A = this chain, B = another copy of it.
Amino acid sequence: MAVGPVPFPPMRPVAGIELGTACAGIKQQIRDDIVVVQMADQATIAAVFTRNAFCAAPVVVARENLTHNPRWLLINSGNANAGTGAQGMQDALTTCSDLASAVDGARQQVLPFSTGVIGEPLPVSKITAALPEAVGNLAADNWDKAARAIMTTDTVPKGVSVKCDIAGHSITLTGIAKGAGMIQPNMATLLAFIATDATISQTLLQQCLAQAVEQSFNRISVDGDTSTNDACVLMASACSALTITQDSAAYALFSEAVSTVCRQLAEAIVRDGEGATKLIRIVVKDALDNDEAVLVGKTIAHSPLVKTAFFASDPNWGRILAAVGRSGVENMAIDKINIYLGAVCIVKNGGRAPDYTEAAGQKVMREEEITVTVSMGRGDACQEVLTCDFSYDYVRINAEYRT
Contacts and interface: CB of A to CB of B under 8 A. Distances in A.
Interface of A: 51-55, 80, 82-88, 117-119, 121, 181-182, 184, 186, 223-228, 302-305, 308-309, 311-312, 314, 316-319, 321-327, 329, 332, 334, 347, 349-352, 390-392, 394-396, 398-400, 402
Contacts of A184: 326
Nearest to A323: B225
Most buried by B among A304, A316, A347: A304
A396 B395 CA distance: 11
Contacts of A329: 53
A322 B182 contact: yes
B322 A52 contact: yes
Contact of A54 (B53, B182, B302, B324): B324
9 contacts: A52-B322, A52-B325, A54-B322, A85-B352, A117-B318, A228-B318, A228-B325, A308-B398, A311-B399
A20 to B, nearest CB: 29
Given A54-B325, A54-B334, A321-B54, A309 B350 contact: no
Given A84-B351, A85-B349, A304-B304, A402 B334 contact: no
A51 B225 CA distance: 24
Contact of A304 (B224, B321, B327, B352): B224
B398 A118 contact: no
A51 B317 CA distance: 19
A181 B305 contact: yes
